[in-house]
């Protein structure tokens, strides 16, 4: 089996895509498992990190041909890429939390598993190992190599390789103990062998290979704007194959552009042509003076069309305006399926039907007791106005959601609940907000005897205090705190 350095030399010297594909196949589980832990088990983010790492490898391959232990470089690259992704993700989460106060009452009640708690501690300890110890651990446990193979890679004898691995394990165990995680070296070795080598999703290697090669080939070719678009892990295997076969610039336009995008681009070209035709012939090369504080309406329209075209290109496969359902057209279709529950809930929010809206939620016994205790502590006037705790909470949520309803949405599918609950799924929904911004959201739904609904967790005391402070004790109206 050729060594990593040999494969890198082949790729750099002969542009061998087969050699690069073998490197990806050989190391993708290492990169994906490191990324998965660094992003707290979020598979989609881990795929994005994996794609970024191998795209970076393709671009920096000439400088890495002399690197003796490629897994160590990949580990470090995955660490930096995951840190960047998590910074971006945290900023996104902060923005969403500020915009959706109602999520204080919703979410998952389950606590993380033991391995989930161990993951960040383990990676922090790995970061503190010296380079030689980390290389030995990566080769032995992440790559699953024998001591003879570890020794060959590090230019050591079998016994020297074994000693280096043992010393690295002892150091790792000591670092973990400082963080409150105690274990024997043997148990730690078992954890590393069983948990670290997480298999990457099927098809990810092919997708990563194609996109990384395409990005590398595009360097210096004037297509930098496409590279950020191509590094998204959502690109399908078939699309990547077509890109490699037909050429980057042409294939991306042909395969990622739907009818609506082509229409927008035609409008963009037509608008540009109209601007040129409207310019006086004798002033075609003279700049038209603008009054300070005014804008060119044609330029503004061109900017709008360009922004719209970029937005359409960023959509996942299958998402079009024709497929998206307008919230204004939602109806009461029941709660027999997760998709129907979402439509019914949006309809109820739009027409402000509090009873129908609250039927779309599932309260645990603990949460219901908390709600009833809160309701009992309100004034007689408030309790008389709303009648039930559910109606009061529903009125509060609808007040908050008045300006937050999406303009349109499209259900893309559903997956099993990551916590393993058999009666719960996570529905993937593409949403267009009133502002025009579009994003992918995951909504958890639980099945009950009366249909599907969103589970409501036990809320912190601060959330109930905020709700109580927003209610006028005489009229029952919601004040500034709820708006």
Give tens-digit pLDDT for 67-115. 778 888 999 999 999 998 888 887 766 655 544 444 444 444 433 444 5
Mind listing the pLDDT tens digit for each residue in 320-362? 888 888 988 999 999 999 999 999 989 988 888 888 888 889 9
- Provide the β-strand partners of residue 325: 409
For the chain, give every domain's residue range. 4-204, 325-482
CA distance 230 to 306: 19
Q: Predicted confidence band at 32 (pLDDT cuts at 50, 70, 90)? A: very high
Lowest mean pLDDT among 82-96, 150-164, 370-384, 427-441: 82-96
Q: Angle at Cα 32 formed by Cα 31 and Cα 33, nearest 5°?
A: 95
Structure tokens of 291?
Answer: 């009054």
Whether 384 and 425 have beta carbons less than 8 Å apart is answered as: no
CA distance 150 to 146: 6
In this prediction, residue 283 carries a pLDDT of: 43
Question: What's the chain's length in residues?
Answer: 483
Mind listing the pLDDT tens digit for each residue in 455-475? 887 777 777 888 888 888 888
CATH C-level class of 325-482: alpha beta
Query: Which of 342, 357, 437 is closest to 391 using CA atoms?
Result: 357
CA distance 378 to 437: 39
CA distance 160 to 144: 17
Mind listing the pLDDT tens digit for each residue in 109-137? 433 444 555 666 777 788 888 888 888 88
Whether 423 and 412 have beta carbons less than 8 Å apart is answered as: no
């Amino acid at each position: 089996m050729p060594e990593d350095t040999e494969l890198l030399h082949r790729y750099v010297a002969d542009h061998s895509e087969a050699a690069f594909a073998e490197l990806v196949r050989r190391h993708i589980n290492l990169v994906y498992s490191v990324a998965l832990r660094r992003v707290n088990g979020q598979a989609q983010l881990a795929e994005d990190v994996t794609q970024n790492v191998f795209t970076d490898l393709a671009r920096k391959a000439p400088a890495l041909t002399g690197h003796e232990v490629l897994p160590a470089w990949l580990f470090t690259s995955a660490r930096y890429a995951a840190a960047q992704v998590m910074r971006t993700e945290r900023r996104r989460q902060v923005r969403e939390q500020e915009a959706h106060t109602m999520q204080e009452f919703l979410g998952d009640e389950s606590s993380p598993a033991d391995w989930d708690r161990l993951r960040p501690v383990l990676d922090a300890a790995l970061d503190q190992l010296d380079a030689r110890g980390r290389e030995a651990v990566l080769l032995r446990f992440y790559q699953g190599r024998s001591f003879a193979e570890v020794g060959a890679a590090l230019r050591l004898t079998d016994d020297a390789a074994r000693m280096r691995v043992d010393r690295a394990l002892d150091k790792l165990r000591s670092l973990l103990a400082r963080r409150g995680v105690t274990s024997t070296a043997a148990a730690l070795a078992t954890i590393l062998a069983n948990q670290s080598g997480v298999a990457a999703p099927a098809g990810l290697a092919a997708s990563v290979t194609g996109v990384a090669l395409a990005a590398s080939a595009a360097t210096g070719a004037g297509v930098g704007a496409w590279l950020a678009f191509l590094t998204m892990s959502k690109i399908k295997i078939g699309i990547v194959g077509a890109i490699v076969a037909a050429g980057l610039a042409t294939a991306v336009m042909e395969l990622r552009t739907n009818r609506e995008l082509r229409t927008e681009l035609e409008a963009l070209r037509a608008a540009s042509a109209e601007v040129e035709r409207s310019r006086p012939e004798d002033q075609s090369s003279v700049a038209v003076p603008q009054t300070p504080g005014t804008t060119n309406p044609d330029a503004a329209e061109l900017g709008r069309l360009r922004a719209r075209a970029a937005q359409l290109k960023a959509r996942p496969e299958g998402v079009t305006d024709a497929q998206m359902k307008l919230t204004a057209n939602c109806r009461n279709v029941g709660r027999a399926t997760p998709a129907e529950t979402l439509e019914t809930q949006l309809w109820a929010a739009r027409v402000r039907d509090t009873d129908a809206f609250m039927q779309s939620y599932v309260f645990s016994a603990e949460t219901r007791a908390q709600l009833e205790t809160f309701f009992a502590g309100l004034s007689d006037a408030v309790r008389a106005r709303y009648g039930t705790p559910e109606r009061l909470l529903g009125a509060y949520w609808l007040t908050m959601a008045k300006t937050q309803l999406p303009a349109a949405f499209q259900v893309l599918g559903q997956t099993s609940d990551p916590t393993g609950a058999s009666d719960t799924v996570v529905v993937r929904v593409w949403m267009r907000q009133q502002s025009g911004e579009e994003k992918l959201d995951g909504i958890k739904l639980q099945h009950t005897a009366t249909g599907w609904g969103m589970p409501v967790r036990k809320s912190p005391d601060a959330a109930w205090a905020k709700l109580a402070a927003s209610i006028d004790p005489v009229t029952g109206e919601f004040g500034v705190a709820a708006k």
